[in-house]
Amino acid sequence: MSSFKYDEEKPSSGKKKLKELLLKSDNRICADCSAPDPKWASANIGVFICLKCSGVHRSLGTHISKVLSVTLDEWTDDEIDAMVEVGGNSYANAIYEAFLPQGCSKPNPDSSHEERASFIRSKYELQEFLKPSLRIVSSKSSFQSCDSGKVSCSGSDSFKSSAGMIEFIGILKVKVIKGTNLAIRDMLSSDPYVVLTIGQQRAQTAVIKSNLNPIWNEELKLSVPREYGPLQLQVFDHDMLSADDIMGEAEVDLQPMITAAMAFGDPDLLADMPIGKWLKSHDNALLKDSTINIVDGKIKQEVSLKLQNVESGEIDLELEWIPLNQ
Ligand SMILES: [Zn+2]
């Protein structure tokens, strides 16, 4: 990667990052009304939106939403970095719609201006669908406060119970670094890629051709629900002609990191130091003890895994935990 440094410093490269982000599948529809092919963005919120919704965003004022055209406007590097940092519509919506009641439907591409405006104001200006503890200082009783949002969420007179809503407590960034000595699934080699799953969410790396020691250095993001289980990791061999073959799997216990993060509080206020450890044991996939560290105000954990249910293979990851409940 470092050989491309020159390219990264060209002025056009920021725009390229923005285009790449826009091409991700969740950014191919408007974050607010699901209209296809959004060409606008709220640079401070970090969402891609359609023309109609951009009009509503603009009416909220730039202190709430700073609307820019993806194609026409000049973006500063900071604005682009902020978009990339949020990671796109699904991550932003995991926050801004974390408590979207099931009975409250989002606007659609043909919704009236009033319906659209009411939803967008509720979502970003009044922040009615945020986790309650983000709105008011930490209250665990989840949902009563959303009753007050009834008025503004047009088209829904009755709310279903909070059952079925997913409350996210944080975002897990997983840098898939490399694989070592992976299993052979084709004649001589394999075309491996890594799939990560938490609950209903799934993310995957690129396929690396004919390589048993692939280096991905690819960052994936997943939202973590309150009732989280382990992070499931699977390695597959990409096969053009038949179904992809599995090349092993492993589980990552997220509890040591998340409980340490909760215990220590805001990582920005902490010096670099270890705050916890996930210990290697005979019933987990760790190759060695995995320490949770504060590094530059971030909660990080390096994890080396021995793939299970396969003849060979190791995977190195770097996790970062971004809590949403501060
Ligand atoms: Zn829209």
Residues 35 and 108: their CA atoms lie apart, in Å, by: 7
State in Å: Cα 187 to ligand 1 middle: 49
State in Å: Cα 31 to ligand 1 middle: 7
Residues 123 and 97: their CA atoms lie apart, in Å, by: 7
pLDDT at 24: 86
State in Å: Cα 146 to ligand 1 middle: 23
Give every strand in the sheet of 298-306, ordered side by side: 215-225, 168-180, 314-323, 298-306, 290-295, 273-278
Regarding the domain with residue range 2-150, which homologous superfamily does it belong to in the CATH classification? Answer: Arf GTPase activating protein (1.10.220.150)
Contacts of 165 (CB under 8 A, 6+ apart): 99, 100, 101, 102, 143
State in Å: Cα 109 to ligand 1 middle: 6
State in Å: Cα 34 to ligand 1 middle: 6
State in Å: Cα 96 to ligand 1 middle: 15
State in Å: Cα 114 to ligand 1 middle: 13
pLDDT at 300: 96
Pick the CATH number of 168-323 from 2.60.40.150, 3.90.550.10, 3.20.20.450, 3.30.930.10: 2.60.40.150
Residues 273 and 291: their CA atoms lie apart, in Å, by: 10
What are the start and end residues of each CATH 1.10.220.150 domain in the chain?
2-150
Give per-10-residue mean pLDDT for the chain (326 aa). 42 79 89 93 94 94 91 89 88 86 83 93 88 49 36 35 59 95 89 90 89 94 87 92 89 94 86 92 95 94 96 97 76
State in Å: Cα 107 to ligand 1 middle: 8
State in Å: Cα 276 to ligand 1 middle: 43
State in Å: Cα 133 to ligand 1 middle: 27
State in Å: Cα 33 to ligand 1 middle: 4
State in Å: Cα 153 to ligand 1 middle: 16
* Residues that place a CB less than 5 A from ion ligand 1: 30, 32-33, 35, 50, 53
Q: Residue 171 corresponds to which tokens in the numbers above? A: 């975002």
Q: Looking at the chain, which runs of residues are DSSP E strands? A: 40-42, 47-49, 67-69, 168-180, 192-198, 201-204, 215-225, 231-237, 245-252, 273-278, 290-295, 298-306, 314-323
Q: 235: which DSSP letter?
A: E
Written as one letter, the residue type at 95 is I
State in Å: Cα 53 to ligand 1 middle: 4
State in Å: Cα 196 to ligand 1 middle: 30
What are the start and end residues of each CATH 2.60.40.150 domain in the chain?
168-323
pLDDT at 268: 85
State in Å: Cα 89 to ligand 1 middle: 12
